[in-house]
Amino acid sequence: MSEARPSQRHVNVVCPFCGLGCDDLEIASDARGVRVEANGCPISVSAFARAAAETAAPTIGGAPAAFADAVARAADILDRARAPLLAGLGTDVAGMRAALALAERLGAALDHMNGAALQRNAKVLRETGWVTTTLSEVRNRADVVVLLGGDVAARFPRFYERLIERRDPLFPDTPATPELVFLGGAAPRDLPASPSAAHVLPCATDALGEVLNALRALVGNRALQASAVAGIEREALRALAERLTGARYAVFVWAAGLLDAHGDLAIDAAAQLVKELNRTTRAAGLPLAGRNGDLTANQVALWQTGYPLPLRFARGFPEHDPYRDSAERLLARGAADALVWISAFEPLPPPAADIPTVALVRPGTQFAAPPAVGFPVATPGVDHAGHVFRCDNVVALPLRRLRAAELPSVAEVLDAIAARLGAGSC
């Protein structure tokens, strides 16, 4: 019966491959694989298609191995490690629960592959807080939308379709399409209605904070001495400040991953500007994220430990030091002696590191050098059910199983390794 499985059609499918959390996909699955048939985007079409016909065996040193042997070898590596690191963390809620349980037993550190971008937002939230909003509010209320630093559509392809090109917002006072302002980056070429020149204010990405601070001064009726800020004329800024003060619900959108290394300064400036606007009208930020399960991993870490990522359990309890424990720095200074790399959504290889690596990855991942142990794992939302968080951090979406899976999930592999710890070498 499984040989001649007819094509199955799935509707209202949730896509876990970017943080927008589109849940209206129509997907066909059959013996040839999984295909997006409606409401796809470049990311989802290729990510679901890549999920087709993926079967592969675990590997030890690059050679195929039995699952039990690979688990035993991974447990042995981790038993011997004094300072293991779990990184990547591209997984769903269940996978992150298993990662935290394993890290706690090992006294390991954990960080997500998007850790640098996560920190840009985390720092602002921790130091001043902010006023933010969620997708349905933007969809129905925003009358001005300011995009900070480049075109978010490259990472969140259906952003304009779902939030900007709305036909009938809930409130008649909300315009059918909000005014779009591009601050810092160029406007995308394929918008149905191109924004007026007054609404495109290019500047260097690392000058965004300066520009936003100038806007805040103008919104707060404070004098601005400079005739231009980061190449933007004072009068253009003044016009924008007036538009923002006059808006009913201005929304500032940024994707921390598209900002520069000091993007926290731009985010902080945006947060303070939004707070300033809220003295007299309403405004909010919309931080976009959620690719490769970054927000999901962070949310589970927060509720299970009290801290966001990165984390370490070296002393038997969770500790959070975002500078010391970033995966990048731990690896760069040789402070980790074994790596568990998790990337279940996209076939991303682990960073180059001269330490034994256990890789839980999507089949088809190209390694520079074979990992000590490799586990091809199932893709959440394709091969098994699960949960992921959407970009606004509010909505957790249910992922479905779209085909009969033969690969184990991240949680299954990590639980199996945890069960083998302390069992001695194989």
Partner 1 sequence: MLIRLARGTVYDPARGLDGVRRDIYVRDGRIVADPGPGATIDRDIDLDGAVVMAGAIDLHTHIAGGKLNLARAMLPEDHRHDPLARTGRTRSGTGHAVPSTFATGYRYAQMGYTACFEPAIVPANARHAHLEMGDTPMVDKGGYALLGSDDFLLGLLAEGAEQPVINDYVAWTLAATQCIGIKVVNPGGISAFKFNARRLDLDEASPHYGVTPRRVIAALTRALEELGVPHPLHVHTSNLGVPGNIASTLATMDAAEGRRIHLTHAQFHSYGTEGERGFSSAAARLAEAVNAHPNVSIDVGQIMFGQTVTASADTMRQYANRRHAHPKKWLCMDIECEAGCGVVPFRYRDRNFVNALQWAIGLELFLLVKDPWRVFLTTDHPNGAPFHTYPQLIRLLMDRGYRRRALEAIHPDAQKASVVGALEREYSLYEIAILTRAGPARILGLTDRGHLGEGARADITVYDDHPDRERMFRTPRYVFKDGRLVVENGEIVDVAWGATHVVRPEYDRSIERRLAAYFERYRTVRLPNFAIADDEIAADGRGRLIVEPCGRRSA
Pick 18 or 94: Cβ nearer partner 1: 94
Which structure tokens are listed for 1?
């019966």
Min separation Cβ 224 and partner 1, Å: 26
Min separation Cβ 24 and partner 1, Å: 6
Pick 345 or 389: Cβ nearer partner 1: 389
Smallest CA-to-CA distance from 14 within 48, 46, 42 is with 48
CA 16, 17, 22, 28 dihedral sign is: negative
What interhelical angle do 115-127 and 294-305 show, nearest 10? 50
DSSP secondary structure of 313-330: -TTSS-B--TTTT-HHHH
Pick 133 or 205: Cβ nearer partner 1: 133
Pick 169 or 356: Cβ nearer partner 1: 169
Min separation Cβ 40 and partner 1, Å: 16
Enumerate the β-bridge partners of residue 33: 30
Separation CA 265–CA 270 (nearest Å): 9
Which string of b and e fits 262-299 if b means at least 16 CB within 10 Å?
ebbbbbbbbbbbbbbbeeeebbbbbbbbbbbbbbbbbb
Pick 12 or 194: Cβ nearer partner 1: 12
Smallest CA-to-CA distance from 91 within 333, 342, 347, 413 is with 342
Pick 171 or 335: Cβ nearer partner 1: 171
Min separation Cβ 132 and partner 1, Å: 5
Min separation Cβ 14 and partner 1, Å: 6
Pick 14 or 407: Cβ nearer partner 1: 14
Pick 5 or 126: Cβ nearer partner 1: 126
Pick 196 or 278: Cβ nearer partner 1: 278
Residue located via tokens 């059609």: 9
Residue located via tokens 């000091």: 262
List, in sequence order, every beta strand (DSSP E) within 257-355.
Answer: 282-288, 311-312, 338-343
Going by C-beta distance under 8 Å and a sequence separation of 6 or more, which residues neighbour residue 10?
Answer: 25, 26, 27, 28, 29, 400, 402
Min separation Cβ 25 and partner 1, Å: 10
Q: Exposed, middle or buried, 218 (CB in 10 Å: 0-12/13-18/19+)?
A: buried
Separation CA 398–CA 193 (nearest Å): 34
Min separation Cβ 324 and partner 1, Å: 13
Min separation Cβ 34 and partner 1, Å: 18
Min separation Cβ 174 and partner 1, Å: 10
Which structure tokens are listed for 124?
């602002």
Min separation Cβ 149 and partner 1, Å: 22
Min separation Cβ 323 and partner 1, Å: 13
CA 319, 393, 391, 49 dihedral sign is: positive
Residues within the interface to partner 1 (CB under 8 A)? 12, 14, 21, 23-24, 93-94, 97, 101, 104-105, 122, 125-137, 139-141, 162-163, 168-171, 173, 248-249, 278, 281-282, 284, 298-300, 302-308, 313, 315-320, 385, 387, 389, 393-398
Strand pairing category for 63-64 and 311-312: unpaired
Pick 32 or 279: Cβ nearer partner 1: 279
Pick 14 or 60: Cβ nearer partner 1: 14
Task: Give me the phi and psi of 190, to 5 degrees please.
Answer: -105, 25
Enumerate the β-bridge partners of residue 42: none
Residue 417's H or E segment, with its range, is: helix 410-420
